[in-house]
Amino acid sequence: MNAEDYRLAALGDADAQVRVADYYDEYLRGEHDGPIDVSDETAKELILKYYKMAAAQGNAEAHYRLFEMYYCALEDFIDQDLEAAREWLEKAVELGYTEAIYVAGRCYKEGELFEKNPDKAEEYFKLVTEKDPNYGVKIGFLYDMFEDEENMYRWFKVAAEHGNSNAMELLGDFCCEDPEEGFEWTLKAAERGENGAQHSLAERYYWGYGVERDLAKAFHWYQKSDTIASSQSRLGDYNYFGIGVKENWEEAVRWYQKAANQFIGDDHAQQMLGNCYFYGAGVEVDFEKAVYWYNQATKHGDCIAEQMLADCYYFGIGVERDVSKAFERYYQAVLTIQTYGDFYYFGLGVPVDKIRAFEAYEDAAAYDVRAQRMLGNCYYYGHGTKRNVEEAIRWYRKAAMHRDNYSLEMVNLYYTAHGGEEAEKWFETAAKIGGDQYGYASHMREYSKKAE
């Protein structure tokens, strides 16, 4: 403890008395290791003594600290006393202590300590936001607890209109039924450096939600928010599929790894990292690592990774063959009968021969959805044939029309990168096909159309 604070407290300095009491209080709560020169029991007595000494001199913070102690029975060294708590809180409010004013309003709102009185709560909330508009955020969250969206929006807006960037982000993300208004709040928060808002703004530009679709601006804001896993994952997509930038699988892998290795890894990045190892895109082919990353993605519910992992178990790719596990992992049901092209493609009991695999997929593609998808892969990655992205997309589209999730995603990302009339037609088709990967995109596009 600062010796000067102790000296000033002894001389009657109310602020120093609060600091001394806080020091002992924080020690007993384990917020620091001391040192203190008294026993725990003596420390408890000194906390009350110094807070009360400061309160006797009209110190508002001391009044509020005493309210907390009597209301919450802090540290089990003082019995709860609601009457004393009420008196200390009322005095703190009279002295204009902002947190006390907010808490009093909350008590009136919830009917705790005081009789429930919504009008009185409103009066206190107005008072505290006049002193500090940032309290609009706390009040907004309080109304959110009561599922009162109208008042939640109203109080967030109070804080936002006074420059609170967190409130601006909240308005943009949750509170605005009008996509254009939501975009404006998100933009303001992003420009003020709110990392979450920067990612949200990127998503708005990417999907055209509340603003005209602009993949270049989306890319800019994904870069601004590149510590967020989903932004890293999207930057991986930009490089993997060449969305407005030169296709660069190595750079895509770098971004996917960043997103996949976050504390809560991004499932799309994990799935795409599995694909990179599976197909040798930007890294050497490593089926065991592909299986690892597919496994990680399935923990977050990624249906495409689930489908790919099922295939790995079915054919014993990167893992010991286990048909029962394969059946467990198929997204909805066992997919169509596999072609012998897989045996040549993956070297199952025969040497790997991508040319013979390609020929086999060609033979089966007229009736086999999986063969259509694998034929798309052959063209996309140049396996067994010359690389031809347009032809790959043609086959992915055929498979996608039969609800093949992997192909759906490949086509969606391709048209996201290239745009145009064909892209518009595809998005309409994808929305009709449905599937978990397209619910969000369809929702965004519908809102965008309403905004127009």
pTM for this entry: 0.69
For the chain, give the mean pLDDT: 86
Q: Report the alpha-carbon distance of residue 310 to residue 96 in Å, rounded.
A: 64
In this predicted structure, the answer to whether residue 438 has a pLDDT above a threshold of 80 is no
Q: In the prediction, which pLDDT does 66 show? A: 93
Handedness of CA 219, 224, 227, 229 (dihedral sign): negative
Token look-up 């809560």 returns: 264
Burial class (CB in 10 A: 0-12, 13-18, 19+), 372: buried
Q: Give the list of residues 6+ apart from residue 424 with CB closer than 8 angstroms, or none.
A: none
Q: In the prediction, which pLDDT does 422 show? A: 77
**What domains lie within the chain, and their CATH numbers?**
367-452 (1.25.40.10)
Q: Let me know the angle formed at the C-alpha of 274 by 270 and 279, rounded to the nearest 5 degrees.
A: 150
Give the single-character DSSP code of 265. -
Query: For residue 6, what pLDDT band results from cuts at 50, 70 and 90?
Result: confident
Q: In the prediction, which pLDDT does 436 show? A: 42
Q: In the prediction, which pLDDT does 360 show? A: 86
Handedness of CA 287, 290, 292, 298 (dihedral sign): negative
Pairwise pLDDT comparison (352 vs 38), residue with the higher score: 352
Q: In the prediction, which pLDDT does 336 show? A: 36
Q: In the prediction, which pLDDT does 44 show? A: 83
Q: Report the alpha-carbon distance of residue 447 to residue 208 in Å, rounded.
A: 9
The pair of structure tokens assigned to 332 is 């909805």
Q: Which of 380, 311, 366, 375 is nearest to 341 (CA)?
A: 375
In this predicted structure, the answer to whether residue 434 has a pLDDT above a threshold of 60 is no
Check if the beta carbon of residue 418 is closer than 8 Å to that of residue 147: no
Q: In the prediction, which pLDDT does 301 show? A: 75
Q: Is 27 helix (H, G, I), strand (E, B) or coil?
A: helix
Which tens digit of pLDDT belongs to each residue from 394-422?
999 999 888 788 888 888 888 888 777 77
Pairwise pLDDT comparison (257 vs 29), residue with the higher score: 257
Which tens digit of pLDDT belongs to each residue from 194-213?
999 999 999 999 988 889 99
Query: For residue 431, what pLDDT band results from cuts at 50, 70 and 90?
Result: low
Among 170-174, 236-240, 298-302, name the one with the lowest average pLDDT: 298-302
The pair of structure tokens assigned to 265 is 């890894």
Mean pLDDT of 340-369: 82
Pairwise pLDDT comparison (96 vs 5), residue with the higher score: 96
In this predicted structure, the answer to whether residue 20 has a pLDDT above a threshold of 50 is yes
Query: For residue 335, what pLDDT band results from cuts at 50, 70 and 90?
Result: very low
In this predicted structure, the answer to whether residue 451 has a pLDDT above a threshold of 60 is no
Please report, rounded to a whole number, the percentage of residues in the chain having pLDDT higher than 90.
57
Helix axes 354-364 and 369-381, enclosed angle (nearest 10): 140
Helix axes 195-207 and 215-224, enclosed angle (nearest 10): 160
In this predicted structure, the answer to whether residue 139 has a pLDDT above a threshold of 80 is yes
In this predicted structure, the answer to whether residue 338 has a pLDDT above a threshold of 90 is no
Question: How many C-beta neighbours within 10 Å does residue 263 have?
Answer: 5
Q: In the prediction, which pLDDT does 363 show? A: 83
Query: For residue 300, what pLDDT band results from cuts at 50, 70 and 90?
Result: confident
Burial class (CB in 10 A: 0-12, 13-18, 19+), 67: buried
Give the single-character DSSP code of 447. H
Give the single-character DSSP code of 214. -
Q: Report the alpha-carbon distance of residue 313 to residue 323 in Å, rounded.
A: 6
Please report, rounded to a whole number, the percentage of residues in the chain having pLDDT higher than 70.
90
